[in-house]
Structure 1
């Protein structure tokens, strides 16, 4: 099965980039956008100088519980940079959401409690609330994690969004929030 089909069968449509968008990122942003694929996994991640962002991590049902996810995370941790990802909040009707959160907790990821993330899906037009999780070898502040998410949103999620989907994703200030008092200062500093 093609790597995109594996991801598409596992992740909800509202979380998926189009295959075309991902292929363009892998080709045109190959300096930062990477795919690690094996018979039982697909890992799509972003690597900037100062952090990593996991866009998608899929481990096949046949390989779950055998340590493959742990090995993939350990490989990224060896780069000694903060690792950030988006994850669905627990949905008790979907047991995978709780399993994912438990997996990342076991791997030492923390919940970025001061960062809000709500993104409108161009596929469904629904607003999805996501949790931001991070692992940080040097105890970076949540402000640094927020700045990294802003960079990821600008350079990856919004990369050629209008061209790919016929409409732009919402602007960053409508998608990401950080302890409202500091949000404006951080956005000004980053622009």
Structure 2
């Protein structure tokens, strides 16, 4: 089960956007706050949108958009805010990619998150196994979900994920972690059809 710093986070006006994300997402999924701030300041593809209803950080590349963190205010969940936000990204006409915790029956949020993306037309990349490790070296797996306005192969999604690892996850990673967070040659396994 995922461990969150606060299982029932409040959407306090006193909290900044990073605190909101950190109170919701598992610790091992959160980037260092300064790494995220440097991404926003120094990586031309990385951006943040924030309103009273949501916080989203994402990287927009020429052919795809990687949604890094998407968090809807708990008071407005179930009212279409997240779906409208995804439709905003879909309107760009590019493949959208997200990393999602595999559903865990003991963690209702993981199940709801998968259902949310599937309801919005995202499909799981069945052939890509994506395994990273936390600071203690404990491995964890994330599922890759994607949506595309056109037919897209999972091999293209894998190429995009490798770009995401190199450009976003590993952005100044040595400075903040003393290691690469996601070496693209090590974290992915391609499952051939049987």
Name 1:179's counterpart in structure 2. Answer: 191
Secondary structure of 1:43's partner? strand
Name 1:127's counterpart in structure 2. Answer: 139
CA distance in 1, matches of 2:29, 2:74: 20
Name 2:165's counterpart in structure 1. Answer: 153
The TM-score, its normalising length taken from structure 1, stands at 0.90
Q: Given the alignment of the two structures, is residue 2 of structure 1 paired with residue 13 of structure 2, yes or no?
A: no
Shift of 1:42: 0.5
CA RMSD of aligned residues (A): 1.3
Q: 1:45 aligns with which of 34, 58, 62?
A: 58
Counterparts of residues 6-25 of structure 1 (less than 5 Å):
6-25=20-39
Shift of 1:170: 4.8
Q: 2:180 aligns with which of 153, 168, 173?
A: 168
Shift of 1:53: 0.5
Unaligned runs of 5+ in 1: 182-191
CA distance in 2, matches of 1:89, 1:106: 16
CA distance in 1, matches of 2:186, 2:71: 28
Name 1:93's counterpart in structure 2. Answer: 106
Q: 2:152 aligns with which of 130, 140, 145?
A: 140
CA distance in 2, matches of 1:168, 1:15: 14
Higher helix share: 1
Alignment CA distance shift 1:76-1:93 (3 Å)? same
Number of residue equivalences? 179
Unaligned runs of 5+ in 2: 1-14
1:105-134 CA-partner distances (Å, limit 9, x unpaired): 110000100111001122x43211010000
CA distance in 1, matches of 2:45, 2:140: 25
Contact 2:162 2:184 in 1 (8 A): yes
Shift of 1:168: 2.7
CA distance in 1, matches of 2:181, 2:65: 22
